[in-house]
Amino acid sequence: MTQSPSANPLRASDGASPRSAKGRLVTIEGLDGAGKSTLAKALASELERRGMRVALLREPGGVTLSERIRELVKDATLEVGARAEALLYAAARAELVQERIAPLLDEGALVLLDRFVDSSLAYQGAGRELGIEQVRQINLFATAGLSPDRTLLLRVAPATGRARQDGRGEEPDRLEREGDHFFEAIARAYEELARDEPARIRTIDAEQPPRRVLEQALSEIEDLLDSMNT
């Protein structure tokens, strides 16, 4: 997943055009209850205030097929094996990339994406024990190799994430019904991914107040924002 943006098959060929003409893909990752969607919304409004073209999307979802798949993977009444689950997330991702993300990047937008391939590596690769490399392979196919320019990993202790999730008072979905062991494996996998790719994946302590999380997130993408303005 370290392909350079200009070598990306889903982006318009760079040719002689300056790198600055292209958009950037920033993904937000972490356990449920880490505050991903709060950060995504705050980042989007701050960047729009600065006059940037920002598209905020979430996974699974963002286009009709992927929203339908979202309903399937969350449905607690369905039997879904680990392999089928990994493929459903990958299918939702393939459609979102093709219909929305690739065109937005070609138009020069900053795409803020709540979850992407790293979620599958952590949840299906580690949580479901399918193996990170196997899950990476199906996602390379699904995304045609699209890799984020930067990933903000919101680190929260599994117990804190669970407590925040419970505090929402919603009925737990199919994945949220899993035990502590599942979420601990996911948290460990995220840490490993961040250790392997420190330039791309920046970890933020998500137990800080939301304002501090936003400040750190902005500083972690400042160089990308600068590169879009030059």
DSSP string, 8-24: -TTSPP-TTS-GGGS-E
Strand partners, 29: 153
Shortest reach from residue 45's CB to ligand ATM, in Å: 19
Closest CA to 218 of 2, 29, 44: 44
Q: Is 69 in the site for ligand ATM (CB under 6 A)?
A: no
Q: Which of 120, 143, 151, 216 forms a contact with ligand ATM (CB under 6 A)?
A: 120
Please give the residues from 21 up to 50 whose contact with ligand ATM meets the rule CB under 6 A. Answer: 32
Q: How many CB atoms lie within 10 A of CB 108?
A: 15
Q: Where are the alpha helices (DSSP H) in 177-209?
A: 180-196
Strand partners, 204: 154
Q: Is 60 in the site for ligand ATM (CB under 6 A)?
A: yes
Q: How many CA atoms lie within 13 A of 60 on its CB side?
A: 23
With respect to ligand ATM, which residue has the nearer C-beta, 89 or 190? 89
Q: Is 66 in the site for ligand ATM (CB under 6 A)?
A: no
Q: Is 220 in the site for ligand ATM (CB under 6 A)?
A: no
Please give the residues from 121 up to 180 whose contact with ligand ATM meets the rule CB under 6 A. Answer: 123-124, 175-176
Q: Looking at 4-12, 15-23, 97-105, 114-122, which segment touches ligand ATM (CB under 6 A)?
A: 114-122
Name the phi and psi angles at 174, rounded to 5.
-55, -45
Q: Looking at 18-26, 52-60, 97-105, 219-227, which segment touches ligand ATM (CB under 6 A)?
A: 52-60
Tokens representing 71 are 């309903």
Please tell me the distance from the alpha carbon of residue 185 to that of residue 176, in angstroms, as a whole number: 14
Residue 59 has what DSSP assignment? S
Shortest reach from residue 63's CB to ligand ATM, in Å: 14
Cα distances (Å, whole numbers) of residue 67 to 91, 100, 151: 11, 13, 23
Per-residue interface string for the shown chain with ligand ATM, residues 176-195, x marking contact by CB under 6 A:
x-------------------
- Closest residue to ligand ATM, Cβ-based? 123
Q: Looking at 99-107, 112-120, 202-210, 212-220, which segment touches ligand ATM (CB under 6 A)?
A: 112-120
Strand-strand pairing, 24-30 and 54-58: unpaired
Q: Which of 115, 155, 162, 200 forms a contact with ligand ATM (CB under 6 A)?
A: 115
Shortest reach from residue 118's CB to ligand ATM, in Å: 8
Shortest reach from residue 190's CB to ligand ATM, in Å: 12
DSSP string, 215-229: HHHHHHHHHHHHHHH
Positions that interact with ligand ATM (CB under 6 A): 32, 58-60, 89, 115, 119-120, 123-124, 175-176
